[in-house]
Amino acid sequence: MKILMLTPYLPYPLLSGGQIRTYNLLKKLSQKHQITLFSLIKSEDEKKHVKELEKYCHKVRVFKRSEKPFTLKNIFKTIFSSFPFLVIRNQAQGSLEAVRREIAQNDYDLIHAETFYMMPHIPDCQIPIILVEQTIEYLGYESYVKKLPFYLHVLLSIDVQKIHRWEKYYWQKAERLIVMSEEDRHFIGKEINKEKIDVVANGVDTAWFAAIKRQQTKQPTILSVGTFKWLPNIEAVDFLVTKVWPSIKMQIPNARLLIVGNAPTKRVISYGQNDPQISVTGRVEDIRDAFNSADVLLAPVFSGKGTRYKILEAMASGTPVVASQIAVEGLKIKNGEQVLTSNLPKEMADLTVKVLSDKKLWQKLSRNGKDFVSQNYDWNLISNKLDKIYREIGNYAKL
């Protein structure tokens, strides 16, 4: 099949969950389909990564959006537009016309759009469209806005309502909607026809993670992972450092906290500056090094619905996981078998200490996590699910 894929980011380098997902699916699906990739970039420097993607794509084209989101132009356009800031911020000059020309000149069987805010880049056409929602966007922003001062809450709530309105509109417009979990499918199924929603979860390259051996830590090491361009990850680290970490340190005085993730904020960086037992490394070249040099992943995520990569990758690395319930939502893993879960800060700290102190428990979680991921979330399994959907709804299947 000939497929046109649209993404709001270049799927390489692998700095975010979205990039990891798209890159791995491209690798697998390119073996069965001819894929043309249209992506947004923020800087000309990103073009150097196109060669890596051309290994798997028939053609790659990039379109520049504004490098910084909060420009006066973006803000004023949002004020006078029915679109939310999220859509305005992801507009790129010439992209709509380029897509129009591309589908007019080539006989595509399917259009694959990653995120609802890529849908405005697609003109009206007869080609079936698959929309992939890696997270339910308005829920994440809604949760964040509720915590702001009243005047900002009122102002930004209008934009959240816009996100919800357009997100739902494009859910309905797409031929098929793909989400990350059954929970997401059930939630969105209250607003649109549930029969058009499929679950294609995220995956892990289990062989790649197994290729590096674990390191022996010199002191008990707790890991926090997540790109800080996603608000729930910032909230999670704030919760960890202010409400969970003090209790862990009281019980294990020589414990170390390693915070890893692309684009850490000034506040996140300050945690490492104010506590010598906290290290904030930002982006790492090989995420396996972070997982394999830590004793436990701690993931107190309380808002948003996302890719859950940190959980899957930790388990693939054999790193035990202590997490909030929402952090593992939709993965169908059992508390006490593959992970330990709690939403209470003191209990979360106690569970982390228990994993660090109980060698048999550590080994059980490590072993069970690796087995579970390899049996349920390897990219070969996940890509086959998406391939089946492609063939069900693409024009190719209707000939």
User: Is the pLDDT score of 216 beyond 90?
Assistant: no
Q: How confident is the model at residue 351 (pLDDT cuts 50, 70, 90)?
A: very high
pLDDT value at position 398?
65
Q: How far apart are CA 169 and CA 163, in angstroms?
A: 10
Bond into 13 cis (ω within 30): yes
Q: How far apart are CA 323 and CA 240, in angstroms?
A: 11
Domain locations along the chain: 2-203+379-398, 206-376
Q: What is the largest CA-CA distance in the chain?
A: 67
User: Is the pLDDT score of 234 beyond 70?
Assistant: yes
Whole-structure pTM value: 0.82
CATH of domain 206-376: 3.40.50.2000
Residue 70 identity: F
pLDDT value at position 304?
62
Residue 301 identity: V
Task: Provide the token pair at 39.
Answer: 């992506």
* Contact indicator for 196, 370 with CB cutoff of 8 Å: no
Tokens 């800080």 locate to 228
What is the CATH topology of the domain spanning 2-203+379-398?
Rossmann fold (3.40.50)
pLDDT value at position 152?
81
Q: How confident is the model at residue 232 (pLDDT cuts 50, 70, 90)?
A: confident
Residue 32 identity: K
pLDDT value at position 231?
79
DSSP-derived pairing of the beta strands 296-299 and 321-323: parallel
Q: Which segment of 21-25, 163-167, 206-210 scores lowest on mean pLDDT?
A: 206-210
pLDDT value at position 29?
96
- Per-chain mean pLDDT for the chain: 93
pLDDT in tens, 6-52: 999 999 998 888 898 999 999 999 999 999 999 999 999 999 999 99
Q: Residue 274: which residues within 8 A CB-CB, separation 6 or more?
A: none
DSSP-derived pairing of the beta strands 110-114 and 59-64: unpaired
pLDDT in tens, 122-134: 999 999 999 999 9
Q: Residue 65: which residues within 8 A CB-CB, separation 6 or more?
A: 40, 41, 42, 89, 90, 91, 92
pLDDT value at position 215?
80
User: Is the pLDDT score of 366 beyond 70?
Assistant: yes
pLDDT value at position 395?
73
| Mean of pLDDT values over 54-66 | 97
Question: H helices of the chain, where?
Answer: 17-29, 50-54, 72-79, 85-89, 95-105, 137-146, 150-173, 182-188, 206-210, 231-239, 245-251, 266-274, 287-292, 309-316, 345-357, 359-376, 379-393
Q: Do domains 2-203+379-398 and 206-376 have the same CATH topology?
A: yes
pLDDT value at position 195?
95
Q: How confident is the model at residue 396 (pLDDT cuts 50, 70, 90)?
A: low
Handedness of CA 136, 267, 64, 31 (dihedral sign): negative
Q: How confident is the model at residue 147 (pLDDT cuts 50, 70, 90)?
A: confident
pLDDT in tens, 285-340: 888 999 999 999 999 988 765 557 889 999 999 999 999 998 898 788 999 999 99
pLDDT value at position 213?
83
